[in-house]
Amino acid sequence: MAIVFVVVLTLADPLLAKCPKHSVEVRGKIECSFEPDYKVLVTLIYNERQREASGEETAMNIHDGSFNGKVAFSTFISYNPLTGHSCGRLPKSVLVRLIAADGTEWDRKELKIADAFSYDEEHGQYTVLSNLTLHGWCRPKCGETPSTPCGNPK
């Protein structure tokens, strides 16, 4: 069984290579406080029924309250010996989440590819049209309500 698996993987890799690779670039900032170990997790969504973690996914580091990065994906859909390669796989949207080290999600935004991205055909790259803003833990203003604590809830 292991030999069959290795043969299938060996044959599948050249098939995938016939289709171009594209990428989605996302950039933005974090408002309010966040810990140094927080990440921005970017997931490509291909259809409405897709589970969140089943598409291509990249964790981006946050530097000085900003994040920027690319998620690469293959356009390969299928291969038929009679018709050849089908290479039209494209994401419909991009899910961007601010995640703490313990897995807690602080904020999320879903951006539709058609509305929020430009496409550079020469480089096969989708680029977000405007910076995205995610929110961490925002401190209430002291004195707004007497019972509201002004410190971090940790």
Of 27, 38, 42, which Cα lies nearest the Cα of 108?
A: 42
Question: Is residue 80's pLDDT more than 80?
Answer: no
CA distance 24 to 94: 8
Architecture of domain 23-135: Sandwich (2.60)
Which pLDDT score, from 0 to 100, does residue 84 have? 72
Residue 69 three-state SS: strand
Q: What is the pLDDT of residues 4-42, one digit of tens each?
A: 444 444 444 444 458 999 999 999 999 998 899 999 999
Strand partners, 80: 84
Domain extent listing, the chain: 23-135
Question: Is residue 103's pLDDT more than 60?
Answer: yes
Describe the strand order of the beta sheet including 57-60 as a list of residue ranges.
Answer: 57-60, 39-45, 93-99, 105-112
**Whole-prediction pTM:** 0.76
